[in-house]
Chain A
Amino acid sequence: MTSDSADVPVAAPMRASSLRGHATDLFGRAWLGVLIAGIIAVLVLPPAWTLLRTSLGTIQNDMSLSGLTLQNYADLAASPRLATTMLNSIVFATFATLVSLIFGGVLAWLVERTDVPMKGLAYLTTIISLGTPYILYVTAWLYLLGRAGPFNDIYRGLIDPEASPFDVNSLAGMVMIEGFLWSPLVFLLLSSSFRAANAEMEEAARMAGASIAQTMMRISLKLAWPAILALALFVFIRNLESFEVPALVGMPGRVDVLTTEIYRSIKEMPPRLGYASAFSVVLLLIVSVLLFFYGRISRHAERYASITGKGYRPRPFLLGKARWPAACFILFNFLVVLLLPILALVWVALQPFVRPMRWAALNFLTTKQFAAVLTSPHYLELGINTFIVAVATASAVMLLTLFAGWLAGRRQIGGVVSDQLVTVPLVFPGLVLGVALLELALRLPIPIYGTLWLIVVAFMIRYMPYGMRYSFAGILQIHPELEQAAGVSGAGRGTMLRKVVFPLLWPAMASGWLFIFLLCAKEMSLPLLLAGPNSQTISVAMFDLWSNGQGGEVAALGLIWAALMTGVAATFHIIMRRQSAGTFGH
């Protein structure tokens, strides 16, 4: 009953032509995947290998590498610096994580789940502070809490004219500044998970007779716990890897952590590359282990996520009398995260040299610093350099991850390999990647060292995982049948990608591009190691200016740069909105 046609031809033996047919067929499907996976491998694998190789070798006087030895690791283990810096790193990262988690977490809960006033202010603060270069932030706080800053100044005026109780160049200072630096991101991520949480679970607890506090402790916190834990680990890793705060705040006060120790040994004359590499490998291993646990916890967190998609907003908790103290918390956040740093920067930028905030000093207000920055061809060149780097990196990364994301999302040949290779750079702290590329560039026969292209390559490696997140998520949102429909309609793979996938992916790609562009425009640790005399970028210049004590110019340059970047981001955003409105008719 199963077959209407009874005469079935006898199976012919496999012929050579069919084998060849199979081979060309396979090649036709595989070449794109092989090409993309190959490019990613060439970018990602050599730095890791170089780092490991250098850490296991001896550097000769002519910078060549020889031998296979554990000497560097033995030195490391014998050095008291390892224990000190490791302890500093852990204390720094732990407490900074706690500060940003508590600060950002409470803020997120207040804004998302209660009837606290001034919610808009919390968002505004967060958005603006996310666009500000870290180094700008850090210098603002260095001034605020520094010897000449208003806090010490007020203390001296009111209590003890001789004392400076706030010592910013200390572990405590680092913890505070780093904590405030990350709290906006914590706020953003936690508020989205508070928003997505299924309010019916809380309402069920309330109906069952639980008080607000009981509901919070027994239901809300328990449900959010995996998400909070995953976020805490993520911030902890970021803090371990961070370089800006340890370099600007810690190093002048001789408080060294793992990253600054690596930086020091590179900048010594002659540079101790083997030692730095061994240190980097240690840091890399720590981060890898932590990332492994992060992956496990965040998978667990996803299982707890109970997004209903019903699109209704849960009834907020009514705070009653606690409404206004809660509002003060939001105001405090605005003050600490946005207003004070910006005021400090403006003040410093408008003064001929760094001095306390006094009425008397108003007489010395000057636009000299701004004029210096705006008229200098040097800064213009730096700005152009930075733009070139950021545009080149963002475009290259998005182009590469566009294909990689499609291959991975559609389970094509080479997709899985590309996907795994792309995530490798996540274990590289920026500084470690810088060390690895520095060593690689010094040994490569092509003269890439000291050019902007080395920085572009470094940024590409570093931000590939971010680009992949955008393109992969974008691909997953495109129903596979949209592609299959193109194929059945008669389009080949190239036409299908060009006419269907790329146009639909365009919004995701553009936001990924902007994100990477902004990151490149403000990242400091990589260019600091890799920039040659003719390939300086804005953030490197700011670091150098600060090291030379030219705080005023740093502030002026930083403010102008931040305003420019905010402008770029806003313009881009508006264009994007129009574009997608045109395309998708929303």
Chain B
Amino acid sequence: MLDVERLSKIYVNRGDGPAGGLQEASFSLSGATFFALLGPSGCGKTTTLRCIAGLERPDDGLIRVGDEIFFDATQGVSVPMNLRRIGMVFQSYAIWPHMSVFENVAFPLRVARDEKFTAGELARLVDEALARVSLDGFGSRSATRLSGGQQQRVALARAVVRKPRLLLLDEPLSNLDAALREEMRNELRRLQQEIGVTTVYVTHDQTEALEMSDRIAVMSQGRIVQMGQPQEIYFRPANRFVADFVGTTNWLKGQLGETRPEGLRELTLGSGRSIVCTAPTAAPANAHVSIRPESIALHAIDTSRPPETNRLEGSIVFAGFLGVMNRYQVDTGDAVLQAYAAASAQHRVGDRVALDFAFRDAAVLPE
């Protein structure tokens, strides 16, 4: 459906902070996919989106939707943005303040070059789009008299009113407050599935990306560093950057040692203690191990260690009660590790505890 090949866009010294360039990004999506571009600011995710939309002209590469080529550097093809028939929701929503809600949504139909709509068709399509975003009856409202959430819905209605081939969303939820954001997350996903449009979603919020997407591409410094389903990204991060950026993780440093069966290796920590972890065969001897806080179980020291499990002992240096759970930081001598425990747990700062985590939950990751 959407194919992007070796897309590059280099900004030459923009003078305002890190240049948000893009290098050789490639991906292809099948129809009706919800695809998230996830990364920190300046990683190139917005540049990718703007290149697909036609707001930026890439330096190199190819963009194709279905069998129509939007951009091809080798053939010098670049379809102007207004002929691409794409729906887009901007970060600021970009609701035109001098038009009513109806006129905002009707705009793409009114300026369409290839199709002419009668007044009746136009009204029907706009009402349909407004109904999709639960704004029935808001048509005559002035666009300036809308709350943030309503503006968001108008922007969505405008983006889908012409049945676009592709829906592009540029951090659409970042201007909403937390409660509204969760509501809109569900609604966006529902809308996308209803109309079955291929969607590219730019965000720096990993929770959003994990919850909403069929596939995620994690970007860093202008490159796609990992692409896959949410579970794949979370449980099998390709490198240290992805593990750090998606979710929270603990790091232990050590020397890789003896090889065990089934892809496991021994790792000797700085203190001389050793643990068992998974590691790629080519990993260098100096290794970093990632352990997710939620895969660490906190036990009293005198309990017995389950099989296939590492155990590190340490004392609690920080205890925080979050309502749904407790968050502890435990100094093991090698590092301060973060771990979660049920809300009912009652460890206190200074207590000695045992940290247990399965061999398979500790993974050596490349740089």
A-to-B contact residues, CB < 8 Å: 1-5, 8-9, 11-12, 14-15, 17-19, 21-22, 25, 479, 481-482, 484-492, 495-496, 499-500, 503-504, 583-586
Contact = CB atoms under 8 A, between A and B. Distances in A.
A5 B92 contact: no
A9 B53 CA distance: 23
Given A17-B76, A490-B112, A585 B107 contact: no
Interface of B is mostly: mixed
Contacts of A14: 74, 76
B75 A487 contact: no
B5 interface: yes
A500 B82 CA distance: 14
Nearest to B112: A490
A503 B162 CA distance: 24
A246 B27 CA distance: 73
Contacts of A492: 80, 82, 111, 113
A481 B90 contact: yes
B117 interface: no
Closest CB pairs A-B (n = 9) = A18-B76, A485-B94, A489-B108, A3-B26, A481-B94, A585-B142, A481-B90, A491-B111, A488-B88
B227 interface: yes
A482 B96 contact: yes
Contacts of A2: 24-26, 223-225, 227
Given A484-B81, A491-B111, A496-B82, 11 more contacts: A4-B26, A15-B76, A482-B96, A485-B155, A485-B158, A487-B81, A487-B82, A488-B53, A490-B83, A490-B162, A585-B142
Given A25-B78, A481-B92, A487 B55 contact: yes
A489 B107 contact: yes
B250 interface: no
Interface string B81-101: 111111110111110111000
A491 B82 contact: yes
Contacts of A585: 97, 142, 144-145
Contacts of B254: none
B326 interface: no
Contacts of A489: 82, 107-108, 111, 158, 162
Interface of B: 3, 5-6, 24-28, 53-55, 74-78, 80-88, 90-94, 96-98, 107-108, 111-113, 142, 144-145, 155, 158, 162, 168, 223-227, 238
B162 to A, nearest CB: 7
6 contacts: A2-B227, A5-B3, A482-B96, A488-B53, A504-B97, A584-B144
A5 B80 contact: no
Nearest to B239: A1
A411 to B, nearest CB: 11
A485, A490, A500 — most chain B CB neighbours (10 Å):
A490
B280 to A, nearest CB: 13
A8 B5 contact: yes
A586 B88 CA distance: 28
B76 A19 contact: yes
B140 to A, nearest CB: 12
A586 B27 CA distance: 46
A8 B6 contact: yes
Contact of B226 (A1, A15, A487): A1
A21 B98 contact: no
B28 A4 contact: yes
B107 A499 contact: yes
Nearest to A13: B74
A586 B97 CA distance: 11
Contacts of A9: 74
A120 B226 CA distance: 65
A506 to B, nearest CB: 8
A504 B96 contact: yes
A500 to B, nearest CB: 6
B111 A488 contact: no
A490 B74 CA distance: 25
Contact of B96 (A11, A495, A500): A500
Nearest to B25: A2
Contacts of A3: 5, 26-27
A5 B26 contact: yes
A21 B162 contact: no
Contacts of A5: 3, 5, 26, 28
Nearest to A5: B28
A586 B108 CA distance: 26
B75 A4 contact: no
A499 B97 CA distance: 12
B241 to A, nearest CB: 13
B111 A499 contact: yes
B327 to A, nearest CB: 32
Contacts of B111: 486, 489-492, 495, 499
- Max chain B CB contacts within 10 Å: which of A15, A19, A495, A585? A585
Contact of A486 (B25, B93, B107): B107
B73 to A, nearest CB: 8
Contacts of A18: 75-77
A12 B86 CA distance: 28
Contacts of B86: 488
Contacts of A491: 82, 107, 111
B363 to A, nearest CB: 16
A490 B98 contact: no
A584 B97 contact: yes
Contacts of B25: 2
Contacts of B53: 484, 488
B96 to A, nearest CB: 6
A463 B283 CA distance: 70
B308 to A, nearest CB: 28
Contacts of B27: 3-4
Given A8-B6, A19-B76, A488 B82 contact: yes
A345 B145 CA distance: 50
B49 to A, nearest CB: 11
Contacts of B83: 490
Contacts of B74: 9, 11-12, 14
Given A8-B6, A484-B90, A490-B111, A584 B98 contact: yes
A5 B227 CA distance: 13
Contacts of B112: 490
Contacts of B77: 18, 21
Contact of B108 (A25, A479, A481, A490): A490
Contacts of B55: 484, 487-488
A490 B85 contact: yes
B4 to A, nearest CB: 9
Contacts of A487: 54-55, 81-82
A537 B25 CA distance: 66
Contacts of A15: 75-76
A486 B81 CA distance: 10
A351 B92 CA distance: 64
A129 to B, nearest CB: 35
A569 B155 CA distance: 39
Q: Which of B24, B25, B82, B92 has the most CB of A within 10 A?
A: B82
Contacts of A479: 92, 94
Contacts of B224: 2
A2 B94 CA distance: 33
Contacts of B225: 1-2
A13 to B, nearest CB: 8
Nearest to A4: B28
Contacts of B162: 489-490
A479 B158 CA distance: 18
A18 B226 CA distance: 34
A500 B97 CA distance: 9
Nearest to A12: B74
A278 B113 CA distance: 59
A21 B72 CA distance: 12
B142 A485 contact: no
Nearest to B23: A2
A473 to B, nearest CB: 17
Nearest to A19: B76
Among A9, A12, A487, chain B packs the most CB atoms within 10 A around the CB of: A487
